[in-house]
């Protein structure tokens, strides 16, 4: 009877969602970000940083008329050619009068133009003089946010095991003055972590603070406090944002140099100290940084580091003992040169750990992981940009002489057609603590691959994207005790006509793994598919119906059908999501995008059999205060408990409530 009632309620909610009108997503660019993500991206914490960066960019929009190349390169959906197209248009025709002028820039496609509307604006700057202290005191924007997540269930660790209470909450404040100055602080607390007790005597488990200044004399950009940065194509240094294989097609293999504040709740991969980019001349630019920061680590019996922990959890005594038990000192520089479409750069990064890094190298696939106290990486990045051609590359070497190189060629032979080829070779002896770029194995190590991608718009209503990526691994990997290969293929198609958009995706991923006896390699095939139908009315109105499915090589299968929509009445916005999922096992798990409050972009995995429903309400109270509330429920039909260990919930239903308050004040 209970199951029948639940299915009936789900059906009614699906029908309700399907008929919702007069609304749209609070942040339409979220759906574009979701469309670029693969399953591996959703399982990685890297995309949380990318999402937080885009949220921040949406709040601090870029004035295109005064934007620097570095500011435009911070937008991860633009290619080199598109950045150059915007810069050239401004140079030739002067300041834009409206964003509508983006349509006449040949390098920009319709999707990029629509995304730019969320992150940029145009305003004529009457003075390039840097503001004084009086201007900063009288003119600026203040924003404060608070977020609280309340579980309507109890985990086993809440009674005995976790050091804190089950609430998750965070605070953030930021002051900004146009494009010149930004200062802020973030404080966050995960569920189960102590608050004003234990080792968290100052309250929150994690704090991030920063001060940023731009366009001050020869200093293009300087950040003091906690920050992130990226150079080249990421072979030596990239803790700014990640690049998945589908997103790589969007950027067409672009290289970049970016310095930005660490304004997210992520507790890993940031630097702490200062970083600055200085314009030495119209052609030469220098970026330098220095950092001293704490690390979480699992220690060996001799107090050396076995692994650097990246999850940021400090809920139990064991997890708390790992908090800030090690430290890293970092320093480095990047110098770049640009001239008539050519660019070249040199990066050097040095890291010293106060404890010896000694992973368990007795395990074969860890044999060549980074070891020791001192690490040095040097790389050269290079490229050429022409109207229909872009070449980018980076070649790096570590202290032991091992090499890594990545090189891309992008062609634009006709309007609506882009072709990209990318080659990469990462020696199995190459190690770089802060390297992050496109890879099959998830590490910039032990990989030799060739990637080919295509974006084609044969008709204004039809857009096709596809890639194929073949990788060879010379050394052993996790669950693979010898040399192996992997082959990844994806095809996406988007058809738009009037208010309707039909999007389809198919992915075939082949990987070799050890057989049960570990005497030979078996080829495992994973197939994923997605079909989504969106209706966008004139008001505008929108609903999305989506179906996801996947199969594994050993016969595990799964599917999920979901419905999402939003409505708006005056200052009140309502978002609804509902879905039913059925998979044979965790190996066939699925991920589906769900609207959430600002800075809360998450991808829970769905496996087993169950239903998912969520409702979110957002309202403006006056011009300064916005309140958001969300309630989400997952009910499993095939089990009586959820999770295991301290995370176990002795119920088939998991319900969370989330409340967020956002206050804004503009002073003039």
CB atoms closer than 10 angstroms to residue 579: 26
Give the global pTM.
0.86
* Among 178, 97, 100, CA closest to 138: 178
| SS3 sequence of 289-357 | EEEEEEEEEEECCCCCEEEEECCCCCCCHHHHHHCCCEEEEEEEEEEEEEECCEEEEEEEEEEEEEEEE
- What is the predicted pLDDT for the residue at 47? 63
- What is the predicted pLDDT for the residue at 543? 87
- What is the predicted pLDDT for the residue at 254? 65
Q: For the CA atoms of the chain, what is the radius of gyration?
A: 25
- What is the predicted pLDDT for the residue at 21? 34
Token pair for residue 539? 């008001």
- What is the predicted pLDDT for the residue at 14? 42
Which residues in the chain come in under a pLDDT of 70? 1-28, 31-49, 125-129, 133, 241-243, 249-255, 537-541, 601-602, 667-668
Instruction: State the pairing for strand pair 62-63/120-121.
Output: parallel
């Amino acid at each position: 009877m209970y199951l029948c009632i639940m299915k009936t309620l789900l059906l009614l909610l699906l029908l309700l969602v399907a008929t919702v009108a007069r609304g749209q997503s609070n942040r339409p660019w979220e759906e574009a970000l979701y469309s670029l993500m693969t399953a591996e991206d959703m399982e990685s914490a890297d995309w949380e940083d990318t999402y937080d960066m885009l949220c921040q960019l949406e709040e601090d929009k870029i004035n295109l008329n005064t934007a620097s190349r570095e500011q435009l390169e911070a937008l991860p959906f633009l290619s080199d050619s598109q950045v150059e197209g915007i810069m050239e248009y401004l140079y030739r025709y002067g300041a834009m009068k409206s964003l509508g002028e983006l349509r006449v820039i040949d390098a920009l496609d319709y999707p990029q133009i629509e995304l730019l509307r969320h992150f940029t604006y145009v305003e004529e700057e009457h003075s390039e003089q840097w503001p004084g202290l009086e201007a900063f005191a009288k003119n600026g924007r203040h924003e404060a946010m608070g977020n609280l997540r309340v579980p309507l269930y109890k985990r086993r660790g809440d009674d005995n095991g976790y050091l804190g209470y089950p609430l998750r909450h965070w605070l953030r404040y930021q002051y900004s003055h146009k494009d010149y100055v930004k200062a802020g602080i973030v404080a966050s607390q995960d569920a189960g972590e102590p608050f004003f007790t234990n080792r968290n005597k100052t309250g929150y488990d994690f704090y991030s603070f920063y001060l940023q200044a731009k366009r001050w004399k020869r200093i293009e950009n300087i950040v003091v406090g906690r920050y992130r940065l990226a150079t080249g194509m990421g072979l030596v240094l990239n803790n700014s944002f990640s690049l998945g294989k589908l997103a790589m097609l969007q950027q067409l293999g672009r290289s970049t140099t970016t310095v930005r504040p660490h304004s997210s709740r992520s507790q890993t991969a940031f630097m702490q100290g200062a970083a600055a980019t200085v314009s030495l001349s119209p052609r030469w630019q220098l970026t330098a940084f220095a950092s001293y920061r704490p690390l979480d680590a699992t220690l060996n019996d001799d107090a050396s580091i076995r692994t650097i922990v990246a999850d940021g959890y400090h809920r139990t005594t064991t997890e708390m003992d790992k908090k800030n038990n090690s430290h890293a000192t970092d320093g480095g520089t990047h110098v770049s040169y640009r001239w008539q479409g050519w660019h070249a750069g040199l990066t050097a990064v040095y890291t010293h750990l106060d404890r010896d890094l000694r992973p368990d190298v007795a395990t074969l696939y860890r044999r060549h992981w980074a070891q020791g106290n001192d690490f040095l990486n040097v790389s050269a990045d290079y490229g050429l940009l022409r109207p229909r051609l872009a070449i980018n590359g980076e070649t790096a070497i570590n202290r032991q002489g091992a090499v890594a190189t990545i090189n891309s060629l992008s062609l634009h032979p006709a309007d609506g057609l882009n072709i990209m080829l990318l080659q990469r070779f990462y020696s199995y002896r190459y190690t770089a603590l802060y390297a992050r770029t496109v890879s099959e194995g998830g590490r910039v190590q032990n990989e030799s691959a060739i990637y080919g991608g295509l974006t084609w718009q044969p008709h204004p209503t039809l857009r096709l994207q596809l890639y194929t990526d073949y990788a060879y691994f010379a050394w052993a990997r996790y669950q693979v005790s010898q040399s192996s290969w992997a082959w990844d293929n994806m095809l996406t198609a988007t058809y738009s006509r009037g208010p309707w958009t039909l999007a389809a995706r198919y992915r075939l991923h082949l990987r070799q793994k050890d057989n049960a006896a570990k005497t030979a390699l078996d080829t495992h095939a994973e197939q994923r598919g997605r079909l989504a139908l969106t209706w966008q009315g004139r008001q505008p109105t929108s609903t999305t119906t989506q179906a996801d499915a996947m199969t594994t090589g050993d016969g595990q299968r799964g599917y999920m059908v979901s419905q999402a929509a939003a409505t708006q009445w005056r200052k009140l916005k309502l978002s609804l999501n509902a879905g039913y999922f059925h998979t044979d096992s965790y190996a066939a798990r699925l991920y589906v995008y769900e609207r959430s409050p600002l800075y809360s972009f998450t991808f829970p995995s769905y496996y087993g059999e169950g239903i998912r429903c969520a409702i979110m309400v957002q309202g403006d109270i006056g011009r300064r205060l916005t309140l958001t509330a969300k309630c989400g429920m997952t009910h499993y039909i095939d089990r009586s408990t959820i999770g295991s260990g301290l995370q176990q919930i002795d119920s088939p239903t998991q319900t969370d409530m989330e409340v967020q308050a956002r206050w804004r004040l503009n002073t003039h």
